[in-house]
Amino acid sequence: MGFIDLERYLDSKQFRLLPLYVLLALGLLSAGANYWYLRDHAHNMARYYAEGIARLINDARLWNAEHGGVYVPVSESTPPNPYLQIPNRDLVTLDGLELTMINPSYMTREIAEITRRQAGLVMHLTSARPINPRNRADQWEQQALVNLEQGRGSKLELVAVPEGMVFRYMSPLYIQSACLPCHQAYGYEEGDLRGGISLVFPAAPHLAMVSSQINRMLLGHGIALVLIGAVTLSLLNRLQRQWQARRRLIEEQESIIAQRTQTLSSQKERYYTIINTAAEGYWEIDDQQRTAMVNEALCAMLEYDHEELMSRSPLDFVAGKNREILREKLQEREISRIRAFNITLKTKSGRDLHTRFHATSIFNEKHQFTGSFAFITDITELLEIRESAAAYALKLERSNKELDDFARVVSHDLQEPLRTMVSLGDRLLAKHAAGLDDKGRDYLRRMQDSASRMRQLIEDLRSYSREAHRENEVTALVDLNEVLREVIADLEQRVREQKARIEIDRLPTINADRSQLHRLFLNLIGNSLKFQAEGNRPVVRVKLTKIDRKHAEIQVSDNGIGFEEKYLDRIFRPFHRLHGRGQYHGTGMGLAICKKIVENHHGEISARSTPGEGTTFSLTLPL
């Protein structure tokens, strides 16, 4: 179908009617399928009913046969069975009551009479070789018996009779061992097909059970067809209107294309204006590395006129190693769409111009390379600032080294007179203490305590200075379990004296400076033992709380005196103490050294605490 034929079809009535016809056909097919499904369901219910009746009759017959028949009084309705030729068929009781035997077949006929009167169920015992003429099969039963003999099983069929629609059902009867006393004389053996039980019952009750479902199904299909048809018709009408609007849209689009062509021309002029007024340089070259466009900023940077730059290669404006670098970058244009690199250009006056190129490759609609452009930034001033900063950093590093050397010399020179003071004080107390009064001895002890504190302070300052300059000494794998064992060995005397309990989890192996980590845990656990209330038994726990592929988090917690968390920003400062010297000895440098060690390993340290309950330090260390 051509485009014109399709357009004519979309404008015709068939465009709407054909889909509706298809929808109606699908609806009828669905309704028919559902109708036959429900009718089949009614047949199945009728079959279950008939099979139940037949099973009850067979069970009753089997009971009768297994008991050798049942004797009943002789009456008009139950006369002796002339077709039952067995001894003792008829008996007379001592009081003169005449009895006759009811065998399974006789009993089945009697039950059939009762069901005919009460339930409208016609039951007929039949056989292809009947002994009793009453058991002769009609035409339908003959065909059903043939099916049974051919092994096709029981048969159920909906049949029309003058009284209306009925179901006819035939169930097989097989010779069982209890039946042989009567039927063996007629040539039957156990397992032979004797005949069948034929049932006839009204179909109306069973069909009525599904008639309401059929009505609802038909009503639902009708409503669905109407609704879907209405929606389909609405959609088709909408589609037809859209198709008609399409032709108008094409005309409008042709007008818009003309307007946009004019707009693009205006935008191109605007683009050239923006490029020419940009503060950064703009350099566009074709696929042959020839300059296609430059702006005024680039001309000012290179000190060339616009005409002097056109058709020339950027390689004409570089020298030495920069020429090789730029040649390599130009060769990468077809591979890498966006690039950024630094190049030193030569201006017309011969001055070096340090620049940053932000280059982008250009491809056409067929993905063919056609050229590239770059925005160029003058970074000469930035490089001068960077060089100045590097020189300043070198000067600062040299100054820090000189200060560190000075600190080591000063600490060594201060340690010597302090050792002399302590030594002389010890001798004075040992040899001349008796010649001093109590006040003199107290002054002497206070002098020695001050000298000892000064020695400890100088040692802590040296430690802090050493840790501040050891950031780059992390060189080996360190098993933290071994480090903790060494720390506990160093603190063994204090642990024994305070009867402390120290619990340590299994810890990981990390990249670290072993001596620094030893000092870190020695300070933290030492503080946990030191800051305890009088008479309290210290409990210190070191546990691994989190580990991933990059970091391990370790907590050191205790049951000490704790502190108020408003002091968290002060506890890691050098020389800061929360308690007086009379309560707990120390210089206030321990946690400052811990913080410096953790920072040297590019980790983090924090704390949380509650007064009277204890403190927890959290360490995050890289693996």
Q: What confidence score (pLDDT) does residue 463 get?
A: 59
Q: What confidence score (pLDDT) does residue 13 get?
A: 60
Residue range 278-378, CATH number: 3.30.450.20
Predicted confidence (pLDDT) per residue in 554-565, tens digit: 999 999 999 988
pLDDT at 575 over 50: yes
pLDDT at 499 over 90: yes
State the average pLDDT over residues 56-75.
86
Q: Are 379 and 354 in contact (CB under 8 A)?
A: yes
Residue range 11-68+103-209, CATH number: 3.30.450
pLDDT at 2 over 50: no
**Rounded CA separation 558/108 (Å):** 97
pLDDT at 505 over 90: yes
Higher pLDDT, 321 or 120: 321
State the average pLDDT over residues 366-380.
88
Looking at the chain, the whole-number percentage of residues with pLDDT higher than 90 is 18
- Angle formed at CA 603 by CA 601 and CA 606, multiple of 5 degrees: 135
pLDDT at 471 over 70: no
pLDDT at 7 over 70: no
Q: What are phi and psi of 179, to 5 degrees?
A: -90, -15
Among candidate residues 124, 110, 126, the one with its CA nearest the CA of residue 101: 110
Q: Which residues of 74-103 are buried (b: 16+ CB within 10 A; e: fewer)?
A: beeeeeebeebeeeebeeeeeeeeebbbbb
Q: What confidence score (pLDDT) does residue 1 get?
A: 47
State the average pLDDT over residues 252-278.
80
- The pTM of the full predicted model, rounded to 2 decimals, is 0.37
Banded model confidence at residue 185, pLDDT cuts 50, 70, 90: confident
pLDDT at 485 over 90: yes
State the average pLDDT over residues 457-475.
57
Q: What confidence score (pLDDT) does residue 96 get?
A: 87
pLDDT at 3 over 50: no
Tokens of residue 97, six digits:
């009551």
Lowest mean pLDDT among 35-39, 369-373, 488-492, 615-619: 35-39
Looking at the chain, the whole-number percentage of residues with pLDDT higher than 70 is 86
Q: What confidence score (pLDDT) does residue 573 get?
A: 83
Predicted confidence (pLDDT) per residue in 135-171, tens digit: 888 889 889 888 888 888 888 888 888 888 889 999 9
Tokens of residue 489, six digits:
């060995």
Long-range contact pairs involving 138-147 (C-beta distance under 8 Å, separation at least 24): 140/168, 141/170, 141/196, 141/198, 144/168, 144/170, 144/196, 144/198, 145/170, 145/195, 145/196
**Rounded CA separation 529/527 (Å):** 5
Q: What confidence score (pLDDT) does residue 436 get?
A: 73
State the average pLDDT over residues 363-372.
87
pLDDT at 241 over 80: no
Q: Helix, strand or coil for residue 532?
A: coil
Predicted confidence (pLDDT) per residue in 388-410, tens digit: 877 777 777 776 666 565 556 55
Q: What confidence score (pLDDT) does residue 115 get?
A: 81
Lowest mean pLDDT among 134-138, 207-211, 255-259, 581-585: 581-585
Q: What confidence score (pLDDT) does residue 30 get?
A: 82
Predicted confidence (pLDDT) per residue in 243-255, tens digit: 777 777 877 888 8
214-218, 391-395, 536-540, 588-592 — most confident range? 536-540
Calculate the average pLDDT of the chain: 82
Q: Is-same-fold flag (11-68+103-209; 278-378)?
A: yes
Among candidate residues 274, 286, 271, 268, the one with its CA nearest the CA of residue 373: 286
Strands (E), 103-191: 122-126, 155-161, 164-174
Q: What confidence score (pLDDT) does residue 15 get?
A: 62
DSSP label of 351 = -
Host H or E run for residue 392 = helix 380-432
Residue range 472-622, CATH number: 3.30.565.10
pLDDT at 460 over 60: no
Residue position matching structure tokens 């056109």: 310
Predicted confidence (pLDDT) per residue in 527-541, tens digit: 899 888 888 999 999
List the domain boundaries for the chain.
11-68+103-209, 278-378, 381-469, 472-622
Measuring CA to CA, how many Å separate 334 from each of 249, 328, 365, 374? 40, 12, 15, 14
